[in-house]
Amino acid sequence: MNYRKRLLLILISLIGLSSLAAQTETKNQKWDGSRTTPVHLIPLKDEFDQLIVPSESFPLPYSTRYSCAPCHDYGLIQDGYHFNSASSSQHGRAGEPWVWVDPATGTVLPLSYRSWKQMWNPQKLGLTPWDLTLLFARHMPGGDFAEPKSDETSPESRWNVSGKLEINCMGCHNASRIQSHSEWAKQVLRHNFRWAATAASGFGEVGGMASRLPGTWDIYDGPNPDDTEWAVVPFVSYRPEIFDTKHRVFFDIPRKPDDQRCLSCHSIYRVGSKKYSSEEDIHSAAGLKCVDCHRNDISHDMIRGYEDEAEELDNREVSDFTCKGCHIGPDLSRKGGASAGRLGAPYPRHSGIPAVHFEKLACTVCHSGPVPERNFTRVRTSRANRLGIYGVAQWFTDLPHIIEPVFIRDSTGRIAPHRLMWPAFWGSVEGETVQPLKPAEIEAAAADILASEKHIAEILTAFTLYSGIEGIPVLVTSGKVYELNVDGGLDASLYSGMETRSETLWAIKKEEIIAPLIPDFDPQAEEVDVDVETRIQKALESLATISDAPGQPVLIHKNALYQVTDGYLEIKEAPGETVEIPRLSWLREDKVQPIVSEFDVRTVVATVGEEHTLTEEQVIRVLQSLSSLGNPQKSGEAKRFFYISGGRMFRLDESGNLAADEHPAAEPVVWPLAHRVRPAQQSLGITGCTDCHTEGSVFFFNSVRGDGPLKTQRMAVRPAHAFMELDKPYQKLFGLSFRIRPLFKVVLFVSVLVVGSLLLLMALVALARYSGLIEKRRQP
């Protein structure tokens, strides 16, 4: 045997051995046919594939990759639909985006790695997997972009400190009520990525915060005995009672994951509804679980259940798990079929509903989501509005504003109910290229323009340090009272006290009585009240604590200027005009300026306590600032900055005014809704055709109004029929025809009676004639 032959033989042997090894590995995944669930009593392994012994000092958190790996192919699971948004090229029907919400800059930006319409790819925005993990991993099951490959790190990332966010198997599969999504979210917020699954599963208690550790820290460094207060290295205290003598832990894994686990990230809340009155999806009420329809094998390629999924995946079996697959079967007009009736799905008779409805409409139009009303239903979703995280702080956000059901003709030509939100973001446009700007870039360019509420909150916070009085410091202006809330922002309420002498009044609220912080006094009096002087001094000292104050705090009244110098209240002659009412101000280089600018007051009055957080004046100023910073005259190509909100693109025109235009980037983001499926008795059309077909039908003639952080009258309005690509006059006429339809049916019925009777009569006559009966009777 020569050298080449030997080499070939070795090569073939190696290939054979490796394929045998591969077969052995896949054997682990094979189901033996038993319908029981194996008891998951397994040893915990850390990220170095080492057995975790809870009694050891500084035990590491458990790693799903290594703890579950002996039986389950982690690599295969990683490619499943729940974990492949950043790596897959197969995206399917549009789904809910991640929404980057930054109220301070008015940013509501829909993001997705999947190539869905109107959603921005995070990569194109310069967002790294690290950024995305910090923003959104609170509502994801780990893996995906939160577990990047080692070469996907970015300069600002701290994966070495936080660890990677492995797939949290127990996040979905744990049947124990101790599994806590809130704990998961909190650990993510603390950058405790590698500890999050352990904390959330309740296997142990996790302390410390990776976010406070220096970027040079590494898991090999272990705990820091010198700092047990602030930069505490994350640690796990395992619950010893859950381990057996072989250091194995019982994983309470049922055959089918509980709905509660799915709902941690997939809840929908109808804004304003009470918990007790919230209804379940009819499938859940009937005892089905989410995974009864949304099935998957070890690949975790979950069936989404929409009509064209089977075609897209080239897997006909998937079509059995659509509404039609279970309730009707393959033939729309005939009962029965291979998949029909699965899980006891009733066959819908759809009595009296013309067949055209089944061609043009998705099942969800009549059966899912809220019943259409004049005002669209505002909903919050777990992922977009941060629902389901419980703690002292309020986690959920009002933004983004999502409405449903908006009926839209999708790419398949069918009309289906969708959820809709209007994007809002700052950006630049160069030629045809639109580039959103990150909130941090806007904050840098806007400086104080977007900080009006913060300015006033800072002053009120400073006054709370004022120990001389009892009560809550407030600002009274424009008939409203503004006071601090627990989040450090402002709350507004109506002012019902006496008319104030000035536009803005700093005051103290005590038992609903509002009195000026600095009472009126006569500075020319021989002796000013000591209490007043103390108040002035305390107020000025409080203001002096504000960092980045624009000057020295002073009080001006008539022609007197009060300031604190070396701990003493000093009285000087005020520069400029006299002031009739005591006025707190900043003194800088002998120039006096109000303690808060009129712009700040205007902005706060316009936005605090309102749904909108920005004014047109703010937008103009920010756009001017962006233009001056980011568009040097020497640049050849004009880069124009814009702000998108409420379906309009706002830009400065040549005269510096704010122009609102339509632009594709300002169009709403939509994705189909599938749940909550209502009972048949609550389906659209159950009370007749006029549920939709009337001349004033909300189904056809509702309007979707643009919505966003900007307070403006120039928002986009989209009629419902336009989303469905339907003709309004025709639908009006068609709706009107239903007014006379009952009469029409009577006419047809009478017609049938008359024609039928005549035909019967004639048939009898013909029969009599051809049988000779008539001739016989006529014979004498």
Partner 1 sequence: MLGMLFVLTIHRFRKSKEVSGKSPDEVVVNSYLPWLFSRLFAFFKTAGIKGWRDRYQRWVVLRHPSRDRLVIICLGLSFCFLAASGFPFALLSGQRLYGIFLLLHVMLGGVFAVSLPLALISRARHYSFDREDTEHERAASLSGGTGTSHTPWSKIFFWLFAASGLCLIVTALTLMLPYFSLAAQMDMLEIHRYSALVSLLSALAFTYFSRVDDKK
Residues interacting with partner 1, by CB under 8 A?
332-335, 349-356, 358-359, 688, 727, 730, 733-734, 737, 741, 744-745, 747-752, 754-756, 758-759, 761-762, 765-766, 769-770, 774, 778
Distances (CA, A) of 564 to 313, 468, 569, 733: 75, 16, 5, 77
Nearer to partner 1 by C-beta: 16 or 336?
Answer: 336
Contact 471, 509 (CB under 8 A): yes
Closest approach of partner 1 to the CB of residue 766, in Å: 4
Closest approach of partner 1 to the CB of residue 746, in Å: 10
Nearer to partner 1 by C-beta: 273 or 751?
Answer: 751
Measured distance CA(309)–CA(330) in Å, rounded: 15
Nearer to partner 1 by C-beta: 447 or 750?
Answer: 750
Contact 450, 105 (CB under 8 A): yes
Closest by CA to 43, choosing from 238, 205, 258, 299, is 238
Nearer to partner 1 by C-beta: 31 or 770?
Answer: 770
Nearer to partner 1 by C-beta: 343 or 759?
Answer: 759
- Cβ neighbors of 395 (< 8 A, separation 6 or more) are 185, 386, 387, 389
Closest approach of partner 1 to the CB of residue 353, in Å: 7
Measured distance CA(94)–CA(308) in Å, rounded: 12
Nearer to partner 1 by C-beta: 412 or 485?
Answer: 412
Nearer to partner 1 by C-beta: 344 or 354?
Answer: 354
Closest by CA to 64, choosing from 52, 55, 81, 82, is 52
Chain-centroid distance of CA 678 in Å reads 23
Q: Extract the tokens encoding 553.
A: 């705090």
Helix (H) or strand (E) holding 406: strand 402-409
- Cβ neighbors of 705 (< 8 A, separation 6 or more) are 646, 715, 716, 717
476 phi/psi in degrees, rounded to 5: -110, 120
Closest approach of partner 1 to the CB of residue 282, in Å: 20
Closest approach of partner 1 to the CB of residue 83, in Å: 40
Closest by CA to 648, choosing from 671, 616, 672, is 616
Closest approach of partner 1 to the CB of residue 481, in Å: 58
Nearer to partner 1 by C-beta: 316 or 741?
Answer: 741
SS3 of residue 165 by DSSP: coil
Closest approach of partner 1 to the CB of residue 283, in Å: 22
Measured distance CA(152)–CA(148) in Å, rounded: 6
DSSP secondary structure string for all residues of 259-276: HHHHHHHH-EEETT--TT
- Cβ neighbors of 408 (< 8 A, separation 6 or more) are 415, 416, 417, 418, 670, 723, 724
Closest approach of partner 1 to the CB of residue 311, in Å: 21
Closest approach of partner 1 to the CB of residue 748, in Å: 4
Closest approach of partner 1 to the CB of residue 322, in Å: 17
Measured distance CA(743)–CA(43) in Å, rounded: 76
Measured distance CA(296)–CA(73) in Å, rounded: 14
**How far is the first Cα of the chain from the last one, in angstroms, to the nearest whole number?**
123
Closest approach of partner 1 to the CB of residue 321, in Å: 21
Nearer to partner 1 by C-beta: 717 or 733?
Answer: 733
Q: Find the length of the chain.
A: 780
Closest approach of partner 1 to the CB of residue 735, in Å: 11
Q: Extract the tokens encoding 435.
A: 């580039």
Nearer to partner 1 by C-beta: 104 or 768?
Answer: 768
The alpha carbons of the chain give a radius of gyration, in whole angstroms, of 35
Nearer to partner 1 by C-beta: 20 or 765?
Answer: 765
DSSP state of 216: T
3-state helix, strand, coil in the chain (%, to 5): 35, 20, 45
Closest approach of partner 1 to the CB of residue 737, in Å: 7
Measured distance CA(74)–CA(63) in Å, rounded: 11
Nearer to partner 1 by C-beta: 39 or 733?
Answer: 733
Nearer to partner 1 by C-beta: 21 or 755?
Answer: 755
Measured distance CA(224)–CA(659) in Å, rounded: 57
Give the pairing type, strands 377-381 and 402-409.
antiparallel
